[in-house]
Amino acid sequence: MPRLRLALAQMNPVVGSVDANTDAVVEQARAAHAAGAHLFVTPEMVLTGYPIEDMAYRATFIEASRAAVAALATRLVDEGLGDLVVVVGHLDTAKDATLANLPDRLGVPKNQPTNSASVVTGGRVVARYDKHHLPNYGVFDEFRHFVPGDETQVVQVKGVDVAIAICEDIWQDGPSAAADAAEAGLLVVLNGSPYEAAKDDTRLELCARRAREGQCALAYVNMVGGQDELVFDGDSIVVDSGGELVARAGQFVEELVVVDLDLPAATAPMPEPGTRFHGLRVERTIVSTDHAEPVAEPLRPEPAERWDDAGERYQAIVLGLRDYVRKNGFRTVLMGLSGGIDSTLVGAIAVDALGPENVFGVSNPSAWSTEHSLGDAGELARRTGLTLDNVPIAGIFDTFQESLHLDGLAEENLQARIRAVIWMGLSNQHGHLVLACGNKSELATGYSTIYGDAVGGYAPIKDLPKTLVWELSRWRNAWAEQRGETPPIPENAISKEPSAELRPGQLDSDSLPPYELLDAVLDAYVERDLGATEVIAEGFDPALVERVVTLVDRAEYKRRQYPPGPKVSRRNFGRDRRLPITTRWRESL
Amino acid sequence: MPRLRLALAQMNPVVGSVDANTDAVVEQARAAHAAGAHLFVTPEMVLTGYPIEDMAYRATFIEASRAAVAALATRLVDEGLGDLVVVVGHLDTAKDATLANLPDRLGVPKNQPTNSASVVTGGRVVARYDKHHLPNYGVFDEFRHFVPGDETQVVQVKGVDVAIAICEDIWQDGPSAAADAAEAGLLVVLNGSPYEAAKDDTRLELCARRAREGQCALAYVNMVGGQDELVFDGDSIVVDSGGELVARAGQFVEELVVVDLDLPAATAPMPEPGTRFHGLRVERTIVSTDHAEPVAEPLRPEPAERWDDAGERYQAIVLGLRDYVRKNGFRTVLMGLSGGIDSTLVGAIAVDALGPENVFGVSNPSAWSTEHSLGDAGELARRTGLTLDNVPIAGIFDTFQESLHLDGLAEENLQARIRAVIWMGLSNQHGHLVLACGNKSELATGYSTIYGDAVGGYAPIKDLPKTLVWELSRWRNAWAEQRGETPPIPENAISKEPSAELRPGQLDSDSLPPYELLDAVLDAYVERDLGATEVIAEGFDPALVERVVTLVDRAEYKRRQYPPGPKVSRRNFGRDRRLPITTRWRESL
């Protein structure tokens, strides 16, 4: 049985930075080669970054990506890495044969872009696979941006047949079955698979199932890092043909995993031209047939430990914020610190992501701010080392009111907007990125001020319902205690009753149902997309459901009228372009 | 040759208002029946409104749409309209046979929604067609939201074979060819086709070409009205089998077109079960075979006159604004009136859309506002009758600066943001929708203040480059003169040099290239999606291109960091969800 030494590069590319991404691939390939690897695999679209959205259509960008693949082949040889077999993800343009086979009913995006993986070795591109299944749901728009491939690529490396798939290809039926039929010994899968909360261990289960179905080992290489609206969590996996876990990379960290696999020698003959499995043409390329039998213990690094549910969410938010700041050319952030739990948690997250020297808080007390609010913000600053400034708003508020004479909600919102003007002024003057501190329960119900507390370039906890804001705050403090550190979050910020403090004695519970109930209904109506009648059928009080649904629908209208606020996503962490379901239509209850 | 009296209902449905839309269909059907029509055709998805985006996935919404079709069938009989043959657009769920035929590589959206047209007559739904070609480019996301149909429906009405298609189906090859092969005498096409500037007469040319290809008459029924980001322009068309224009509805108005067509009698036999044309199963239904030969002159209404290019754009903006305000439950609008041409044109448009009694302007002079600015805003108010208020900002500005001490750009932005706080305060107090007055040249280059002049729920002229702002202003005044009315726009607002007036003596030309050049480069780089090297190849000065591309890319970053501003679309009028090309990647020039 031939032994293959496989290197999986769990990398963090930057969308659009083709040169820097290529440099990073070469660096990882160098390390893999030094570790004696034969086969080196990157994440999906590592050369361009992912997701590239409508940049896929730009001819000059496609050309830059193609040129980067060719340059990579040459550079690997120049650096003495020419014998390494590299499978690299990139943007390309569809093959003529693929275009000729497209069903009549499918449109073709401009310049025929493809989501591709090239096999590069010996200074040449020896094979290219184009992703078949283009996901078009949730955060994915790939069917819009790419032409689907219609070939299966099998490459013989050191006497082992290696098949290739990209991400969604193994979530749908098709290519892994084709890999099986093509009798491959190993299926390598390049991924840009974003983190989802409470996904359980779906990926490992899927990899194990596909390995057993295909009767071949499977190596799943994922991207890591925050990119725009998404956070990729890494967690790359290798399983054997029985579906048993062989290796696993960490979550939310860059890592190179090198592992030995003993795999069946290739025996399948070259297929007849035009052979098809599951509707896909099979292409076969021989890179190297020589192989050595194992003589020593195989290299088997210990699988990485995984975070628990709360830890996973917290790390996803920290990484998403850090990369958003860095990839957009910022260094420092600024946020309003009210002493409430939302902005307090955001302050702690920002310090974890960027270091205390890069985090700036502002307290903006009004006539109705309570003493403990200022005290709690100050306590957070003392514990974490972030810089806290104080700009009271009462005088500015009075000057506005001399002209405007607003009352009620308009008067409440005025205070929130004055604060936002101050944050943005400091942002423009000093170059800080403003963070919005709203949580998902608030944003979904519209319990926030457009152009007020909703202001900011990034909203770290916008995917956390209020009940999870409390849970992650407690988790963060407990994690500090485990490590013998000072818990960053003042206990009073966690335990006090939530209030917007925009009028005397105001409490969230004046306007909203208790958060435990609210979050449960939001989970059904927003996350799980149920209709109101279906939510009631789950056993919730009809009056409560009617109240929450009305709040969400009105908030949705408000967001539409005033696009600004951070958008509420469903399950995906990080940022999300898509609004929750458009609630223009009201069911009669 | 049988004569068919055809009624096309160019309607303006509201997304989500299933009951009101159904009522409107019945009302139009009543008028069509009274006019002696045999066949009545609505626009695409008229019962649910269009586009419904991710509401397509909600099971209870699909059910409501299906129930509306069934209720419509009953109601037509109850109202004595049971003999009318109604082709009505709606949301449905895919047929089992269609799902079984889907290619392996295509995902299926949740609850299998379809974009459908049902044939309703005699109290029953006798046939249902599902759209085949689901556009997935520009403003369309249909492949994401719907399952494609795989049947061609031919329905015999009064002895004439009538085939059905929906919108994109005739822009791609396929169904019209199938209609030809099925030997239909008439192809009816239900549309939700948005207005595009400078589209020329593409639709008439396409209808004529498909009619000649299919050797059958073609009736193209379009939606009209503003819906969210889109404006539908109507302009429904009937051509004969030679491609000659027979009837045409007006642009930007609701209308019922009734016309007589002399068409070949159906001769094709019922097809064998399983017959396919162009990959589509052919279904044939006989509603009525009886027909009378023509005895009098056919009913042939005069085709509507069309607007010229500038008039078309102006009417599209007026209708888009009117429907956005109305469909979102507002009645009045408020905008900052600086005396500059952008806000002046928006004021004139708002008065045309909503009447002067519903339009409120605010002047917010600063220490650096010029005399003529206030004078020009006042002159607009006198000419149009809108209400103008005056809230100076110098005092508020000074109070902010006592705490903040901002300078440079931060100080300029502070003024713009104070204005926005005033507008939003008045909006919250009085219920006005705030209009943002930025033009496309400004927005594309980032020459505006996030949370300042970019604030607003709707941005009427965000698709107009500055040179077109001037052109439409002149057009509006000339149109008034033609009709013997007072030109609404003060001449000085058109002729003076553009300035943001955020520092003494400031002019746009300090920061931007001359607008004629700027707009030409923006057209190439943003509208036509060319790479920078391709723009230079068109003959523009490389230094100018470099400057504009840098401005656009930086503005794009700014929009990403601060999502709020109205987004810049490409060719579509109204609002557009999509950003221009994501410019994370910079070409080396």
Q: Which of A329-343, B114-128, B222-236, B555-569 has the lowest mean pLDDT?
A: B555-569
Statement: residue B405 has pLDDT above 70: yes
Pick the CATH number of B309-504 from 3.30.70.890, 3.40.50.620, 3.40.50.150, 3.20.20.70: 3.40.50.620
Closest CA to B52 of B67, B41, B62: B62
Residue A561, chain B, CB below 8 Å: the answer is yes
How much is the average pLDDT of B50-64? Answer: 89
Q: Flag whether the ipTM exceeds 0.90.
A: yes
At A347-405, the pLDDT tens digits run 999 999 999 999 999 999 998 877 777 789 999 999 999 999 999 999 999 999 999 99
pLDDT of the residue at B394: 95
At A445-469, the pLDDT tens digits run 888 888 999 888 888 998 899 999 9
How much is the average pLDDT of A146-168? Answer: 93
pLDDT of the residue at B178: 62
Amino acid at A507: L
Domain ranges in chain A? Answer: 3-286, 309-504
Amino acid at B102: L
Helices vs. strands in chain B: H and E counts, helices first = 17, 20
Statement: residue A571 has pLDDT above 50: no
At A533-558, the pLDDT tens digits run 899 999 999 999 999 988 887 776 55
Which among B95, B151, B158, B167 is annotated as catalytic?
Answer: B167
Closest CA to B129 of B188, B203, B217: B188
Residues A424, B17: C-beta atoms closer than 8 Å: no
The residue that leads in pLDDT, B59 or A30, is A30
The residue that leads in pLDDT, B136 or A495, is A495
How much is the average pLDDT of B100-117? Answer: 86
Contact between B148 and B130 (Cβ < 8 Å): yes
pLDDT of the residue at A393: 96
Distance from chain centroid for Cα B249: 17
Residue A99, chain B, CB below 8 Å: the answer is no
Which among A142, A151, A167, A556 is annotated as catalytic?
Answer: A167
Residues B58, A529: C-beta atoms closer than 8 Å: yes
CB atoms within 10 A of CB B126: 16
pLDDT of the residue at B556: 65
pLDDT of the residue at A568: 32
At B16-30, the pLDDT tens digits run 899 999 999 999 999
Residue A334, chain B, CB below 8 Å: the answer is no
Written as six digits, the tokens of B342 are 């952008």
How much is the average pLDDT of A262-285? Answer: 80
Q: How far apart are CA A376 and CA A379, in angstroms?
A: 5
Statement: residue B569 has pLDDT above 70: no
A569: pLDDT confidence band, cut at 50, 70 and 90? very low
Residue B396, chain A, CB below 8 Å: the answer is yes
Residue A568, chain B, CB below 8 Å: the answer is no
pLDDT of the residue at B105: 66
pLDDT of the residue at A179: 65
How much is the average pLDDT of A490-505? Answer: 89
3-state helix, strand, coil split of chain A in percent (to 5) is 40, 20, 40
Whether A244 sits among the annotated catalytic residues: the reply is no
CB-nearest to A105 from B174, B400, B458 is: B174
B421: pLDDT confidence band, cut at 50, 70 and 90? very high
Whether B556 sits among the annotated catalytic residues: the reply is no
Q: Which residues of B are annotated as a binding site for L-glutamine?
A: 137, 193, 199
Statement: residue B177 has pLDDT above 80: no
pLDDT of the residue at B573: 33
Whether A207 sits among the annotated catalytic residues: the reply is no
Statement: residue A174 has pLDDT above 80: no
Mean model confidence pLDDT for chain A: 89
In order of A7, A88, A143, A207, A358, the CA distances from A117 in angstroms are 16, 5, 17, 19, 39
Residue B586, chain A, CB below 8 Å: the answer is yes
Statement: residue B563 has pLDDT above 50: no
Residue of B nearest to A433 (CA): B561
Share of chain B above pLDDT 90, in %: 65
Q: Which residues of B are annotated as a binding site for ATP?
A: 336-343
CB–CB contacts below 8 A, A to B: 271
Pick the residue of B168, B421, B553 with the most A CBs within 10 A to test the interface with A by mutation. B421
B586: pLDDT confidence band, cut at 50, 70 and 90? low
Q: How far apart are CA A231 and CA A316, in angstroms?
A: 7
A442 is in an annotated binding site: yes
The pTM for the full model equals: 0.93
CB atoms within 10 A of CB B462: 26
Beta strand residue intervals within A396-516, DSSP E: 433-434
Q: How far apart are CA B230 and CA B65, in angstroms?
A: 22
Written as six digits, the tokens of A322 are 């850090």
B468: pLDDT confidence band, cut at 50, 70 and 90? very high
Q: How far apart are CA A524 and CA A481, in angstroms?
A: 35
A342 is in an annotated binding site: yes
The residue that leads in pLDDT, A583 or A89, is A89
At B195-209, the pLDDT tens digits run 988 777 899 999 999
Statement: residue A273 has pLDDT above 80: no
Share of chain A above pLDDT 90, in %: 64
CB-nearest to B429 from A61, A410, A557 is: A410
pLDDT of the residue at B101: 82
| Distance between B480 CA and the closest CA of chain A, angstroms | 31
Statement: residue A508 has pLDDT above 70: yes
Residue B74, chain A, CB below 8 Å: the answer is no
Residues B3-286, CATH architecture: 4-Layer Sandwich (3.60)
Statement: residue A65 has pLDDT above 50: yes
Name every chain B residue with its beta carbon within 8 A of the beta carbon of A582.
15-16, 52-55
Helices vs. strands in chain A: H and E counts, helices first = 18, 20
